[in-house]
Structure 1
């Protein structure tokens, strides 16, 4: 693009995958500059430029100004831009061009040096497309995250966001404002589907998630809708509609901290009346709320409070198998190269260490992840989870009965 785009004009990607233009969502009379699929019969917008500053009527015009920025104006006020890429182009003789790629990424680049000046993938709205990064670039300070629409007919900034929390062992969260709604599995993530390949990268320069599709003909998107659901959607041309491949939060154990501190949630709780249980060595803080009202928000406490003072007196660890491990925001990687036995010893030496997990890291060795303090949001995860070892006192260690539980004991001497 090196010319002006008016309302009614379109910028089309090379293979006709995506279009950039003006649209009105639902019955809205406002106009927005956005990107949508070209090969999908149902108009599906994946990016919006002026989400919080709509244009009334067909007066919008997009151009590249003298400073090398994409600028959106309304004919009603050509002096003040509605939206701009707002980047600094160093050289004064640069030739800046905008191009819509077949990935859905709108790129502003220097046609001489071919360097990227700005790209829409760095400024997502509610949709994550294949190849897009979600997370933090420590070199630039840029943090990419999704923010929901306000409603089905209003792409304005909504109440929910999907972000990567880089603290501890990084993990994805759905936020309602600043409140956690749902938590994903932490780094290093296991990829579960044959349709897409999910990568979770965590190094000194970047922490981000991205995904690709194994079949280029598959049209796949991840979006955060205005109700706070993250959905993985696949376009079925034969049916002429988007089919939901998965979504969260959906199961009884998806809401963050469903069973409170030191609780564990089992989404397949058919053998019990309640999805919540306490981790080994713990019991409900409020038995009445837990057993009668099925309210686990109070969480669990140690069965014997004095056991916290008995560190080094026969205490050990009980294995809780196949779980989405507890919230890792405050967890510590003791090492990314440590044997399970040494990981256990490392935790045992510190009386504040409440649990540990020995986790295989792709391309590296086995790492040692340790928790200090409260354990929150632990969930049984079938055969796809990790094993976490919870610290218990000598009495609890002796009471573990392997045939009737998911727990196994391990004493460090």
Structure 2
């Protein structure tokens, strides 16, 4: 009997527990109290009571149902906590969703929908959105997505609607133990050209810049079609952005924390942890107005101050600038005019464009017309494309604030400068200068083409005219290299100090390479005797096109002779025949005399069995027959 009663009790508890975690709606007759959990239909999100961190106070919130680390994404009574576990969330007689504390008739929190209805219910959707709707028509009366806390979920809007008065902003918790409204606010500022801001209290902390058509100007990490489908709306009624996921199985969120950062993270189910892949601010140049007005912050120039004045400007306080304090910014250089005085624009690349609070945008103007319109107004200080894909016009009036450089991705902006500054940069960087650049490029291409044609024609004429260089001056030995056979001149073979002779000179010396002057023939070709300028006997070796050894071997021989008998050395002739004698002997079959012993030899002696060099010893007399300068 007791066993049966125990089984019945267990079954009832299971059914009660299953009922508590499986329902996804609240009705006037079906409410939840502290300890109960409302779960979305697909079990992606859960709603219930929780205590953050070390706090014992109770709050109604929504969190991820299947993420092991409890991550709260929305809090209802964030500024009105319950001190015990007596809270009840239900639908009241006016049809509003309300939160009561024990023995209280005034709700601690309510959806505060103005129209009274007795036919409403609350439902937690798989998107994480808690909605109050009319049961018969399923018309939304209220939704938690319109009242975000610190987290932006997929398809949740950030921005504002001027027609309905909705203002979708993120506000941080006060601390990890207190989800109350904190000081960090993340929102879109609609002033001038709408842009993204992170505030710390009332102070601008970080600026995401205006929407460029594909991303925020100050968020270069945004990649189109990565894991998000981004929807940006900018019309007379609404300015907003929403991020949808391309893969619904991905768990991703954006949130602001009490430390002053906005960050995006995805859940890694394998490691059971959140992985962050973007946050801001994260470096000094991200801080709003780090370098003051009319300046640019460049964190990539590690050898100098990160703050640089914009073209045409100079530090307002050189002393502060020297001390690495750029907060005072820059002012226009003294004594210059940028109004109808030959001024122009200098292009700055890959930047987050300046604060657009006082900027104007016209999506119907081209960049060229944008420049012209800016030149007409002396108060216009800069311009750029409103959409970085190449259309629209954005113009600034007055000081330029919070510009910074990025390493690879960014917009181009054109800053107004005086005539002297424009000359310093060479030419206008605006689109009106493109015609001049194009003209220069065309002329350059034509000039290069004509040069190549002329050079080719010159080479062709040289080959057709059989222009030949001859090398000579090596101990009365002259070498002929025929360019038509692939040879090279003295400079080209690396022997820059060899004199060159033209073909007519060598031909005259050898009687046009007459067979009567032919002394013999070797592996390279024939050797001819001759008289250079009618008085100096020479021998000329001519490389034959039928030579089996080739140009490289012939060139090596010339190089070797040049190294062994340099023209700047004095030759000592030691009992050897002159070139004239050699030529005579070769032409008359005369036997060459036997050489004498060398002038010097090296003699070795041996002491204790070890060889050592004792020095140089002369074994015969040296006869100097002639000193002949080379």
Offset at residue 340 of structure 1 (A): 1.1
Q: Any conservation in 1 of the 2:157–2:240 contact (CA below 8 Å)?
A: yes
TM-score when scaled to structure 2?
Answer: 0.61
Of residues 183, 196, 205 in structure 2, which corresponds to 1:181? 205
Q: Any conservation in 2 of the 1:400–1:409 contact (CA below 8 Å)?
A: no
Offset at residue 200 of structure 1 (A): 2.6
Tell me, yes or no, if structure 1 residue 145 matches structure 2 residue 163. Answer: no
- Per-residue CA deviation, residues 258-294 of structure 1 (Å, 9 max, x unaligned), is 1110111113223x33221111111111112112x21
Matched with 1:381 is 406
TM-score when scaled to structure 1?
Answer: 0.93
Offset at residue 359 of structure 1 (A): 3.0
Q: Any conservation in 2 of the 1:31–1:54 contact (CA below 8 Å)?
A: yes
Of residues 318, 323, 329 in structure 2, which corresponds to 1:299? 329
CA distance in 2, matches of 1:109, 1:399: 66
Higher Cα radius of gyration: 2
Matched with 1:89 is 115
Tell me, yes or no, if structure 1 residue 326 matches structure 2 residue 329. Answer: no
CA distance in 2, matches of 1:149, 1:35: 15
Q: Any conservation in 2 of the 1:188–1:200 contact (CA below 8 Å)?
A: no
Alpha carbon RMSD of aligned pairs, Å?
1.7
CA distance in 2, matches of 1:325, 1:198: 21
Q: Any conservation in 2 of the 1:107–1:118 contact (CA below 8 Å)?
A: yes
Of residues 396, 411, 417 in structure 2, which corresponds to 1:392? 417
Gaps of 5+ in 1: none
Equivalent position SS for 2:422? helix
- Per-residue CA deviation, residues 186-231 of structure 1 (Å, 9 max, x unaligned), is 0235342312233332111210121112221111000000111001
CA distance in 2, matches of 1:274, 1:393: 25
Equivalent position SS for 1:383? coil
CA distance in 2, matches of 1:112, 1:89: 16
CA distance in 1, matches of 2:240, 2:387: 19
Matched with 1:287 is 318
Equivalent position SS for 1:250? coil
Q: Please state which structure has a larger fraction of its residues in strand.
A: 1
CA distance in 1, matches of 2:341, 2:304: 36
Equivalent position SS for 2:386? strand
Equivalent position SS for 2:278? strand
Offset at residue 127 of structure 1 (A): 0.4
Count of residues in correspondence between the two structures = 398
Of residues 79, 84, 94 in structure 2, which corresponds to 1:57? 84
Equivalent position SS for 2:285? coil
Tell me, yes or no, if structure 1 residue 107 matches structure 2 residue 137. Answer: no
Higher relative contact order (CA 8 A, sep 6+): 1
Answer with 199-208 or 46-55: which moved more: 199-208
Matched with 1:246 is 278
Q: Any conservation in 1 of the 2:368–2:431 contact (CA below 8 Å)?
A: no
Gaps of 5+ in 2: 1-24, 216-221, 434-630
Q: Please state which structure has a larger fraction of its residues in helix.
A: 2
Equivalent position SS for 1:67? coil
CA distance in 2, matches of 1:385, 1:337: 22
CA distance in 2, matches of 1:201, 1:274: 39
- Per-residue CA deviation, residues 108-134 of structure 1 (Å, 9 max, x unaligned), is 011112211000000000000010001
- Per-residue CA deviation, residues 350-405 of structure 1 (Å, 9 max, x unaligned), is 0010111123377xx81110100010001112332111111000010001158xxx
